[in-house]
Amino acid sequence: MPEKIKVGVIFGGRSGEHEVSLMSARSVLSVMDPQRYAVTQIGITKRGSWVIGDDVLKALEGDQKSPSQSAALLPDPARPGPYRIQHTSQGEVLEKLSQLDVIFPILHGTFGEDGTLQGLLEMADVAYVGSGVLGSSVGMDKALFKDVMRSNGIPVVPSILVSRREIENGLELVLDRAEKVAAYPLFVKPANLGSSVGVTKCRSRADLVEGILEAARFDRRVLVEEGVQHAREIEVSVLGNEDPQVSMPGEIIPGDDFYSYDAKYMDCGSQLIIPAPISAGAVEQIQEYARRAYLASDCAGMSRVDFLMDGQSGKLYLSELNTIPGFTQISMYPKLWDASGLSYSALIDRLIELALDRKAERDRTVHEYGSSR
């Protein structure tokens, strides 16, 4: 029998999307072939503590009986793999565990999807699934991402960016600026978060005040953008490294006023229509924009790319790019690939292959310069 690939699955995290991460992790872990992979569960609590064990997922879900121990991952390639932290009479001692071949981060939002974890994994010189530091940080920051799209000729909706300090020091000025973006409705969202956490649809100045204050709870940068009239929400899944493939598009009919957190994860009657009932020309344009956005952001492994389509004019706007999209059983990313001919379990296999390929490409880079040239 070939040796199993040692995979560390990291989930949880110090983010407003902690619970979403646990749901995604449960789905991913359920389909990983035990004959092919030796899986190590690594959890991160809401306070940022790392834990490791045979059933960390249950522990983070609230089952305190599930065994787990404190753990650490060192940013030192000479000391690879996770360490268990043992508490002894002499203090804390690090105990080396099995070396991992690849890390599979299933961390949504800040401290997981934004390039911070990826920086640690780069320093540790370990293979990992998904985009690197640059692609992760660009995809995560909605305001910066829009600037990158504009510079590449990809249409996005008009918007402004305001800081928490601006909001605290001059809320009325912020409101005046926001109302110049477009007529109501406006959408307000944290610049660095996903899963519709902290997102508000505003139909009046009173709504706008509430939405801005809510978004500022979750990030120090807040985005206010035009609400597309009669918007249709179209999404595609992207898979690959230097030569990414784009799935067929799907359309979301929200069960809520928009595709909110509850609509995404609490089964509020939202419908996922695959394939999206749009013209062949619109499909081609969406796939082209998605591929260009993926490459312009230096993404790798996977991303879900979200579009808004004006229901009357048909005009397209690229909304956002998610480098670690939801992986629950009802999430659009795996469902689109399943409809495009790649099953959930085969998708996991492909992502791990892409991570190992990306690591091999990184290993070709020279990090020393001197007389030995």
Q: What is the pLDDT of residue 91?
A: 86
List per-residue pLDDT tens for the chain, 373 residues long: 679 999 999 999 998 889 999 999 999 999 999 999 999 999 999 999 999 988 899 999 986 666 678 999 999 999 988 999 988 888 889 998 888 999 999 999 889 999 999 999 999 999 999 999 999 999 999 999 999 999 999 999 999 999 999 999 999 999 999 999 999 999 999 998 765 778 999 999 999 999 999 999 989 999 999 998 889 999 999 999 999 999 999 999 986 565 445 555 455 567 889 999 999 999 999 999 999 999 999 999 999 999 999 989 999 999 999 999 999 878 899 999 999 999 999 999 999 999 999 999 999 999 888 755 5
Q: What is the pLDDT of residue 68?
A: 73
Domain presence at residue 101? yes
Domain presence at residue 55? yes
| Same-domain pairing of 213 and 318 | no
Range of the domain at 182: 159-226
Domain presence at residue 163? yes
Write down which residue in 209, 226, 243 finishes a domain: 226
Residue 35: partners with Cβ closer than 8 Å, 6 or more residues away: 4
Handedness of CA 333, 338, 343, 344 (dihedral sign): positive
| Same-domain pairing of 353 and 252 | yes
Domain presence at residue 241? yes
- Alpha helix segments (H runs only) across the chain: 18-31, 56-60, 116-123, 133-140, 142-151, 164-169, 171-179, 205-218, 261-265, 280-296, 332-339, 344-362
| Same-domain pairing of 195 and 323 | no
Contact (CB, 8 A) for 355 and 102: yes
Contact (CB, 8 A) for 194 and 109: yes
Write down which residue in 186, 209, 226 finishes a domain: 226
3-state secondary structure of 65: coil
| Same-domain pairing of 10 and 120 | yes
| Same-domain pairing of 52 and 120 | yes
Q: How many domains does the chain have?
A: 3
| Same-domain pairing of 184 and 302 | no
Write down which residue in 176, 201, 226 finishes a domain: 226
Joined together, the tokens standing for residue 115 give 């390039």
CATH no. for residue 105? 3.40.50.20
Domain presence at residue 369? no
| Same-domain pairing of 168 and 244 | no
| Same-domain pairing of 146 and 266 | yes
Q: What is the pLDDT of residue 270?
A: 74
179: amino acid identity, one letter: E
Domain presence at residue 366? no
Q: What is the pLDDT of residue 330?
A: 81
CATH no. for residue 165? 3.30.1490.20
Neighbours of 266 (CB within 10 A): 12
Joined together, the tokens standing for residue 285 give 């344009």
Joined together, the tokens standing for residue 70 give 């404190």
| Same-domain pairing of 87 and 202 | no
3-state secondary structure of 34: coil
| Same-domain pairing of 150 and 163 | no
Joined together, the tokens standing for residue 268 give 């509020």
Domain presence at residue 104? yes
| Same-domain pairing of 144 and 285 | yes
Residue 342 C-alpha from the chain's centroid? 20
Alpha-carbon distance of 136 to 118, in angstroms, equals: 8
- In 3-state terms the chain splits into helix, strand, coil percentages (rounded to 5) of 35, 25, 40
pTM of structure: 0.90
Contact (CB, 8 A) for 33 and 343: no
Q: What is the pLDDT of residue 175?
A: 97
3-state secondary structure of 187: strand
| Same-domain pairing of 209 and 266 | no
Domain presence at residue 118? yes
**Tokens 């940080």, located at residue:** 137
Q: What is the pLDDT of residue 62?
A: 85
